[in-house]
Amino acid sequence: MPADVPQTPDQRAVEAAAVLKDDEAVTGWAALRWLGGTWFDGTFGGVRLRPVTVVARRNVRAQTGFAVSQEFLHPDEIEVVDGLAVTMAVRSVTYEMRYADGLGAAIEAIDMACYSDLVSIAEVTAYVGRLGPVTGVQQARDALLEAEENSWSPRETGMRGIWTRRAALPRPRCNVPVFTLDGHHLGTPDLIDPLTGLVGLYHGDSHLSLVGASKDNRQDADFRDVGLEPVAMFATDWHDLGAFTRRLLAAAARARRRTGERGWTIDPPPWWTPTDTVARRRALADWQRDRYLRYRDAA
């Protein structure tokens, strides 16, 4: 290829696939990206490039930019999409989970595959259940126990891990819409403990502008007015997780101390269309997907 061809994730997958023959395919993050996985950008945290993994039945030597797996690949697990042979989504995400650099990264992989509706937790659970004692299978099983189908970004998944593991708080629910008691939609926080009203909000780079900060402050006020206790995690908090954990625990303590009647509910009014599971999102009509899943455009 000419040196000036942009090395997009899709381009890198196509170039790696040039070594493949019949019954061989691209797998892992690159296959998920090719199948429509929004968050699979082929990098380690947006910094270093990850190699594209190809599954080859022959003795193919890895080259710069791609790695080779020689694990067994059944022909039925290959699909050709827009001319590129990739392993089907459930196998690709299972590969990612098995070889992920730790449990957190494995959970992120399954969460983000579910985000794009490429797989459901039930589908991956059934697939993993049929595997024998292969490399990383226990990590995949452990990740499935903590996976969520309604996490909207890798950072939200990471924040959930801090919530449950570092702070040892009860497992929150992800992106559950919150309503006033008369059915007005207040907002959809990234995380919420429905018992105490503790709300977790992740503020990435897009929230750092004056407009973004103003919107965040209004939402915080709206949540507090009805008895919720919001706590924000900022992009800079990844450099000091201890500080965020302390803020989170302090907010959890305040939430437990709140008294009086709740002015909020997570029970949706009759007019609301829930989109919290892969099955529900897959069942939407095209116009419903355009309307109810428009948050994906921001991603």
Q: Is the pLDDT of residue 180 over 90?
A: yes
- What confidence tens digit (pLDDT) does each residue in 167-178 have? 999 999 999 999
Structural domain of 125: 9-148
Same domain, 249 and 230: yes
Domain boundary among 148, 174, 194: 148
pLDDT tens string 29-38: 999 999 999 9
Residues 53 and 101 in one domain: yes
Q: Are residues 24 and 110 in the same domain?
A: yes
Regarding whether 26 and 66 lie in a shared domain, the answer is yes
Is 275 a domain residue? no
> Is 184 domain-assigned?
yes
Domain count, the chain: 2
Same-domain pairing of 143 and 193: no
Q: Which of 102, 117, 148 is the last residue of a domain?
A: 148
Residues 142 and 202 in one domain: no
Q: Is 111 a domain residue?
A: yes
27-61 tens-digit pLDDT: 999 999 999 999 999 998 878 899 999 999 877 87
Residue 295 pLDDT exceeds 80: yes
CATH number for the domain harbouring residue 240: 3.40.960
SS3 letters across the chain: CCCCCCCCHHHHHHHHHHHCCCCCEEEHHHHHHHCCCCCCCCEECCCEECCEEEECCCCCCCECCEEEECCCCCHHHEEEECCEEEECHHHHHHHHHHHCCCHHHHHHHHHHHHHCCCCCHHHHHHHHHCCCCCCCHHHHHHHHHHCCCCCCCHHHHHHHHHHHHHCCCCCCEECCCEEECCCCEEECCCEECCCCCEEEEEECHHHCCHHHHHHHHHHHHHHHHCCCEEEEEEHHHHHCHHHHHHHHHHHHHHHHHCCCCCCEECCCCCCCCCCCCHHHHHCCCHHHHHHHCCHHHHC
